[in-house]
Amino acid sequence: MGETGEKKPVLVDRYNRHVDYARISVTSRCNLRCVYCMREGHRRPGVPVEELHYREICRIVEVLGGSGVRKVRFTGGEPLLRDDIVDLVRYAKSVDGIETVVLTTNGVLLDRSLDMLVEAGLDGINFSLDTFDADRYAAITRRNLLPGVLANLESLFRYADVLRVKINVLLLRGINSSELTDFGELARKQPVTVRLMELMPFDDHQIWRTGKFMGADKIFEKLGNIYPVLKSMRGHATEHFSFSLPGYRGKVAIIPAFTRNFCSQCNRLRITSSGRIMSCLYSRNGIDLLKALRERTDTGQLRLLFQQAIDMKPKDGREAGEAVPRTSMSEIGG
């Protein structure tokens, strides 16, 4: 662990990348079964799931804050399935060093906790929504819950001045790619960033292999047909992939998570729902943090574990090279 000029701790890897952002998967449980993420039988009812306890997550955030991490994202699985999610957000916001706390959710349960999350100090929400069509929603998520989700999205807009809202749209060829105009409309009406995302090879039953992948270039081409003004922004687009359209309250972004290599700027580490530190999405093993936490390891030793994980951070996903994992994104923390 190095020190900056201001004596703030920093986590630096072998390639001089500063790691200041942690994604914590607080559960692998979910109330949806998105076809690109998990199988219907992902978890059998009644079978206990090993996941980090409240105090353990708090401890992780404390150690991270003291090691140089500035931003924490709670994700999963579905983070709102945890009864203590509001307390986790409140606690994380109180930790020295942590400046930003955000979460990613499918929005199904947001009505239960939105007001409390805002009051607890949450800075932003990534709300995953792939379609506005009820049948399509049921086909993608295997659950018939769209009306409630849309009502919760509407409620979220009430907080758009205090919360940074992003809409995660996973684009699948021939499934929801026809809805680009509707998502564009959302960005016109609301001050949100609509993120059009590429499918990644993290799904238990490999929809990845079924030709549904839609690359960023194709997304850009389709978007350019709807908004010709985008074509003139192409140079800018290859750098930022984020577009402000004239007269729009929000933005549209393309997230080429698979086809472009952003590894040289990667500032992330992940904690899996079973308590492993992963320094790269493509690594398979990681470091067992849960065991250390349950053995009451002291803070100095926990910090060393994080630095050890950062030291193992591969140069890029290819160097991680341990064949493409089939694990669901819900375990790793998407």
Contact 122, 99 (CB under 8 A): no
Q: Which is nearer to ligand SF4, 76 or 275 (CB)?
A: 76
Residues 6+ apart with CB under 8 A from 73: 21, 22, 23, 24, 101, 102, 103, 104, 126, 333
Q: Residue 12 corresponds to which amino acid?
A: V
57 versus 140: smaller Cβ distance to ligand SF4: 140
Single residue of 27, 113, 128, 176 touching ligand SAM by CB under 6 A: 128
Q: Do 15 and 1 contact (CB within 8 A), yes or no?
A: no
φ/ψ of 190, rounded to 5, equals -120, 150
> b vs e for 220-243, b when ≥16 Cβ sit within 10 Å of the residue's Cβ?
bebbbeebeebeebeeebeeebeb
Q: Which is nearer to ligand SF4, 193 or 330 (CB)?
A: 330
| Helix residue ranges per DSSP H, 252-328 | 289-294, 299-311, 317-320
Smallest gap from residue 96 Cβ to ligand SF4 (A) = 31
Q: How far is the CB of 43 from ligand SF4 (least distance, A)?
A: 11
Stretch that binds ligand SAM, among 30-38, 85-93, 144-152, 261-269 (CB under 6 A): 30-38
Task: Identify the residue among 22, 37, 117, 120 touching ligand SAM (CB under 6 A).
Answer: 37
Of these, 26, 30, 187, 263, which contacts ligand SAM (CB under 6 A)?
Answer: 30
Q: Copy the structure tokens of residue 267.
A: 């500032």
- What are 155's two structure tokens? 């409620």
Per the CB < 8 A criterion, the answer to whether 180 and 218 are in contact is: no
Q: Give the number of other Cβ atoms within 10 Å of residue 219's Cβ.
A: 22
In the list ligand SAM, ligand SF4, none, the entry touching 33 (Cβ below 5 to 8 angstroms by class) is ligand SF4
Q: Which residues bind ligand SF4 (CB under 6 A)?
A: 30, 32-34, 37-38, 76-78, 106, 128, 329-330
Q: Within a 10 A sphere around the Cβ of 4, how many other Cβ atoms?
A: 11
Touching ligand SAM, residues 156-185 (CB under 6 A): 168, 170
**CA–CA gap between residue 172 and residue 169 (Å, rounded):** 9
Task: State the Cα–Cα distance between residues 313 and 270, nearest whole angstrom.
Answer: 11
> Which of 33, 136 has the CB closer to ligand SF4?
33
Q: Which CB, 275 or 334, lies closer to ligand SAM?
A: 334
Q: List the one residue from 60, 64, 180, 199 that touches ligand SAM (CB under 6 A).
A: 199
Instruction: Give the Cα separation of 192 and 212 in Å (integer).
Output: 26
The least distance separating ligand SF4 from the CB of residue 34, rounded to whole angstroms, comes to: 3
Residue 33 near residue 141, CB atoms below 8 Å: yes
104 binds ligand SAM (CB under 6 A): yes
Which positions from 64 through 103 interact with ligand SAM, judged by CB under 6 A?
75-76, 78
When CB distances are held under 5 to 8 angstroms depending on the partner's kind, the choice from ligand SAM, ligand SF4, none that residue 203 binds is: ligand SAM
- The residue number with the shortest CB distance to ligand SAM is 334
Q: Whose Cβ is closer to ligand SAM: residue 272's or residue 307's?
A: 272
d(CA 102, CA 126): 8
**Residues in touch with ligand SAM (CB under 6 A):** 30, 36-37, 75-76, 78, 104-106, 128, 168, 170, 197, 199-200, 202-203, 329-330, 334
